[in-house]
Amino acid sequence: MIAIGPFAFTSTHAGFVEAGSHTPKSSNYGLSRQYSVLRDGSYYTGHTHNLDRRTNEHEVGCGGYTCTRRPVLLVYAKYYASHEEAISAERQTKGRSRAKKEALIAGDRDRVALLARNR
């Protein structure tokens, strides 16, 4: 179990997809949007064709937002059938409040809906 902020994660957590556990084999399927929790408690979201590779790039690479905020812990991933869907979801995600992101990661759909209504 890994504890970060208000969350304790295991591979069976409602919002958690363990890196590599559902990576599609086809290059034209399975774009994903992911949330990662960073050392400073911030969230990173992005999209990729290869979740394992991209998570590793954030962990070992440098030059971007995650560079000085490692380690990077993948806490949520959702797969999309098209690039357009993944990009659209990423843009929506980046505009969400921290509370709404945390509710989504925790798999609390009722709280996500409540926060959307109260905006």
pLDDT at 37: 81
pLDDT at 99: 93
**Rounded to whole angstroms, how far apart are CA atoms 119 and 64?**
30
Average of per-residue pLDDT across 33-59: 84
Q: CB of 21 within 8 A of CB of 11?
A: yes
H or E stretch including 79?
strand 73-80
What residues does each domain of the chain span? 2-117
Region 2-117: CATH code: 3.40.1440.10
* pLDDT, tens digit, 9 for 90 and up, residues 79-117: 888 888 888 988 988 889 999 999 988 889 999 999 988
Whether the predicted model's global pTM rises above the 0.95 cut: no
Report the chain's mean pLDDT, rounded to a whole number.
Answer: 74
**Rounded to whole angstroms, how far apart are CA atoms 54 and 10?**
21
Residue with the larger pLDDT of the pair 24 and 60 = 60
Q: CB of 71 within 8 A of CB of 2?
A: no
Which residues are registered as beta bridge partners of 54?
A: none
- Whether the per-residue pLDDT at 5 is higher than 90: the answer is no
